[in-house]
Structure 1
Amino acid sequence: MSRIAAVAAALPEHAYAQADITEMLLPLVTRDPGKQRVMRRLHSNAGVDSRHLVLPLDEYRRAVTFGQTNDRFVGEATRLAATSLLQALGEAGIAPDEVDFIVFTSVTGISAPSVDALLVPLLGLRDDVKRVPIFGLGCVAGAAGIARLHDYLKGHPDEVAVLLSVELCSLTVQRDDDSMDNLVASGLFGDGAAAVVMVGDARADRMGIAGPRVADTRSRLYAGSRDVIGFRPSETGFRVILTAGVVDVIDANFPGDVRGFLDRNELIADDIGTWIAHPGGPKVLDAFERGLALPGRALERSRRSMAAVGNLSSSSVLHVLAGELHGAHAAGDHGLLFALGPGISAEFVLLEWDRPVAAALAA
Structure 2
Amino acid sequence: MDETSNLAIADKLLLTPFFSLQAFFILAKIDPTYHFLSASSFLLLAIAKRYIFSSPSSALYLVDFSCLKPPNFCRVPFSTYIEHAQMLDFLDKESVDFMAKVLTHSGQGEQTYLPPCIHIIPPKSSHREAINEVHMALFPVFEDLLSKTKISPTEIDVLIVNCSGFCPAPSLSSIIVNKYSMRDDVKSFNISGMGCSASALAIDMAHNILKTHKNSNAVILSTEILSTGWYPGKQQTMLVLNCIFRMGAAAILVTNKKEAKKTAKYKLLHTLRTQRAFDDKGYYSAFREEDSDGFTGVTLRRDLLQVAGETLRSNITILGTKILPYTEMILYAISITKKKYFDKSSEIYVPNFKRAVQHFCLPASGKPVIREIGKGLKLGERDMEPAMMTLHRFGNQSSSSLWYELGYMEAKDRVKKGDKVWQLGMGSGPKCNSLVWECLRPICGEAQNGVWADCIDSYPVVLGRVDK
Query: Same fold per TM (> 0.5)?
Result: yes
Q: Which residue of 2 aligns with 1:285?
A: 370
- Please show how residues 158-197 of structure 1 align to structure 2 within 5 Å: 158-169=215-226, 171-175=228-232, 177-197=233-253
Q: Against the structure 1 CA distance between its residues 312 and 238, is the aligned structure 2 distance closer, same or farther, given a 3 Å change threshold?
A: farther
**1:33 corresponds to which letter in structure 2?**
K
Alignment partners' CA distance in 1, 2:173 and 2:265: 25
Tell me: CA distance 1:20–1:34, structure 2 relative to 1, closer, same or farther (3 Å). same
Matched, 1:28 2:88: yes
What is the deviation of 1:127?
2.2
Is 2:443 the counterpart of 1:358? yes
Higher helix share: 2
**In 2, Cα distance between equivalents of 1:162 and 1:325:** 20
Q: CA RMSD in A?
A: 2.4
| Whole-angstrom CA distance in 2 between matches of 1:245 and 1:29 | 31
- Percent identity between matched residues is 20
Match of 1:299, SS state, is helix
Following superposition, the deviation at residue 275 of structure 1 comes to: 0.0
Instruction: Give the C-alpha shift of residue 147 in structure 1.
Output: 1.5
Amino acid in the other structure paired with 2:244: L
For residues 78-227 of structure 1, the aligned pairs below 5 Å read 78-169=135-226, 171-175=228-232, 177-205=233-261, 208-222=262-276, 223-224=279-280, 225-227=282-284
Write the distance in 1 (CA, Å) between the matches of 2:286 and 2:259.
Answer: 38
Residues 1:17 and 2:77 aligned together: yes
Q: Does 1:53 align with 2:114?
A: yes
Question: How far apart, in 2, do the equivalents of 1:125 and 1:166 lie?
Answer: 20
The alpha-carbon deviation at position 53 of structure 1 amounts to 1.5
Shift of 1:312: 1.1
The residue aligned with 1:345 is 431
Q: Structure 1 pair 15/193, CA: closer, same or farther in 2 (3 Å)? A: same
1:308 alignment counterpart: 393
Equivalent pair of 1:328/1:359 in contact (CA under 8 Å): no
Structure showing greater Rg:
2
- Count residues with an aligned counterpart: 355
Aligned CA distance change for structure 1 residues 36 and 94 (closer, same or farther; 3 Å): same
Q: Deviation string for 1:268-294 (max 9, x for gaps)?
A: 502211101120111110111111111
Q: Which amino acid aligns with 1:16?
A: V
**1:240 counterpart residue number:** 298
Q: Residue type matched to 1:195 in 2? A: A
Give the C-alpha shift of residue 104 in structure 1: 0.7
Q: Choose 79-88 or 1-10, whichever is displaced more.
A: 79-88
Q: What are structure 2's unaligned runs of at least 5 residues?
A: 1-58, 326-351, 450-468
Q: Do 1:52 and 1:190's aligned partners in 2 also have CA atoms closer than 8 Å?
A: yes
CA-to-aligned-CA distance 1:308-360 (integer Å, 9 cap, x gap)? 1211112222222333344353332111101111111110111111x221322
Is the 1:114–1:133 contact (alpha carbons within 8 Å) kept by the matching residues of 2? yes
Shift of 1:110: 2.2
Contact 1:10 1:194 (C-alpha < 8 Å) held by counterparts: yes
Q: Tell me which of 416, 421, 428 is aligned to 1:330.
A: 416
| Structure with greater strand share of residues | 1
Shift of 1:97: 0.8
* Higher normalized contact order (CA 8 Å, seq sep 6+, divided by chain length): 1
Match of 2:7 in 1: none
Q: Mark the runs of 5 or more structure 1 residues left unpaired by the alignment.
A: none
* Offset from partner CA, 1:61-97 (integer Å, 9 cap, x none): 1365x5xx12211232034212111111221222211
Aligned twin of 2:316:
258
Greater CA drift, 36-45 or 1-10 = 36-45
C-alpha deviations, 1:160-219, integer Å up to 9, x for none? 0011122122542222x22222332221011121111111142514xx323111111111
